[in-house]
Amino acid sequence: MQRFTSRTVIITGSSTGIGEAIARRFASEGANVVLNSRSRDDLEKVAADLEDERTLIVDGDISDPAFARDLVAKTVDRFGGLDCLVNNAGIATAGPLAEASDDDIDKVIDINVKGTMYACRAAIPHLAKSDAPGGGSIVNTSSVSGTGGDWTMPIYNASKGAVTNLTRALALQLGAQGIRANAVCPSITRTDMSERIRQNEDLLDAFLQRIPLGRPGEPEDVAAVVAFLASEDARFVTGANIPVDGGVSASNGQPNFQAFQ
């Protein structure tokens, strides 16, 4: 299946985990892929398996508005346009809000919220020119933490709540320009970000009790939904925040009592 032949996509936070899986999925379907994170070394490891002529590395911090503009400019200069922006860069912090430092708050909000806004702002004029069958597309990585609360992640929850509602607002604002905006909302996924949870047997068990499918997500599970949302198959889908969470949202976060039967 080659849904993205000759199409160009930027994926922020694409050096590891979900972002890497998204980049590989788009590349496998024929897209020109622009890789971004702050670590060029990690990006080069991802790019080593991709086709040189269809891959561009632009390392830098998406929370810097000047860099966001530069990322888009370099993409358009290399490939002649932009069809899809995937805002995947993100960080998390846990702990009581009363104990959080200013730096803790700023880092999460700067990358998760401002970085997403900066990238969208820079990309919108070019996405509006896309001649892709489904139009230009923005796909944000939010989280189930952006649709409800968690016990120990108030800053991350706030940041992903902003991404969730930003997605809705962009869909309303950009539809007339032929740009669709959607988001994926993963639960615990097998990435570096969730390693602390997955290494703690009791904590992992508590998370799994909330997931009807009984397992963490894989990065490829999320990548498949991102690719769908960016494709012509989703040409009439905009403003959606789609859970990719094994059923957590359907269960309203309640434990999986089947595990006790």
Distance CA 8, CA 138 (A): 12
Q: Is 197 helix (H, G, I), strand (E, B) or coil?
A: helix
Nearest-angstrom CA–CA distance, 241 and 186: 10
The one catalytic residue among 11, 32, 156, 226: 156
3-state helix, strand, coil in the chain (%, to 5): 50, 15, 35
Q: Environment class of residue 124 by beta-carbon count within 10 Å: exposed (0-12), middle (13-18) or buried (19+)?
A: buried
Residue 44 structure tokens: 């080069």
Q: Where are the alpha helices (DSSP H) in 175-200?
A: 195-198
- Measured over all CA atoms, what is the biggest interatomic distance in the chain, rounded to whole angstroms? 59
> Quick count: other Cβ atoms within 10 Å of Cβ 95?
12
Q: Active site includes 118?
A: no
Tokens matching residue 159: 């940041």
Please give the positions annotated as active site.
156
